[in-house]
C-alpha cells in the first residue's frame, strides 16, 4: 500500500516525509548548484568546508545525522556500516585544505547515503 505519508515495506510503514526531508538535506549539502559548462554539482559543503576544522566538523555532524535517521528507519548494520564509510571518506578528504573541497564535489557522501536508504526500501530500481 502506497500513500502520500507512508510506503509499506515488509509490513512496516516507511515515513516518506522523513525520507524526503533527508533527500532535500543531502541535495542542499551536496548538489545545490552546478559548475557552469560541466555536469559537476556542488552544494553548501563547498562553502562550509572552507572554514578550517570547524567547517569539516559541521559537515561530518550533518552526515552523521543522516546515518542516525537511517538507524531509526531500521536499515541493517551492513548498510549503516557502508554509510559510515562514506562519511569517513568525506571527512578524511576534508582534512586537505583545497584538495578536500575539490574532492567533495565528486564524492557526495550524503547523496550516496540517501541512495542507500532509497534502495533499501525499494524506492529506486535495484541494479541487476
Residue 86 belongs to a domain: yes
Core vs surface per residue 21-47: b (16+ CB within 10 A) or e: ebbebbbebbbeeeeeeeeebbbbbbe
Residue 128 has pLDDT above 60, yes or no: no
Residue 107 belongs to a domain: yes
- Number of folded domains that form the chain: 1
List Cα–Cα distances, 8 to 12, 15, 47, 75, 121, in angstroms: 5, 9, 38, 14, 9
Residue 9 has pLDDT above 50, yes or no: yes
Residue 80: per-residue pLDDT: 98
Residue 69 belongs to a domain: yes
Name the grid cell of 116: 542507500
Domain range for residue 81?
A: 15-120
Residue 13: per-residue pLDDT: 66
Residue 84 belongs to a domain: yes
Residue 6: per-residue pLDDT: 52
pLDDT higher at 50 or 33: 33
pLDDT tens-digit map of 57-93: 999 999 999 999 999 999 999 999 999 999 999 988 8
Residue 40 belongs to a domain: yes
How confident is the prediction for the chain on average, in pLDDT? 85
Residue 93 belongs to a domain: yes
- The pTM for the full model equals 0.84
Residue 62 belongs to a domain: yes
pLDDT higher at 69 or 50: 69
Residue 128 belongs to a domain: no
Amino acid at each position: 500500500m502506497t500513500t502520500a505519508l507512508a510506503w509499506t515495506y515488509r509490513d512496516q510503514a516507511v515515513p516518506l516525509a522523513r525520507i524526503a526531508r533527508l533527500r532535500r538535506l543531502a541535495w542542499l549539502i551536496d548538489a545545490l548548484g552546478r559548475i557552469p559548462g560541466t555536469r559537476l554539482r556542488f552544494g553548501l559543503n563547498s562553502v562550509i568546508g572552507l572554514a578550517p576544522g570547524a567547517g569539516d566538523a559541521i559537515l561530518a555532524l550533518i552526515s552523521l545525522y543522516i546515518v542516525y535517521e537511517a538507524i531509526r528507519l531500521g536499515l541493517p548494520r551492513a548498510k549503516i556500516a557502508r554509510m559510515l564509510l562514506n562519511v569517513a571518506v568525506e571527512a578524511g578528504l576534508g582534512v586537505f585544505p583545497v584538495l578536500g573541497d575539490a574532492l567533495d564535489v565528486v564524492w557526495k557522501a550524503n547523496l550516496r547515503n540517501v541512495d542507500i536508504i532509497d534502495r533499501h526500501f525499494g524506492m529506486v530500481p535495484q541494479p541487476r
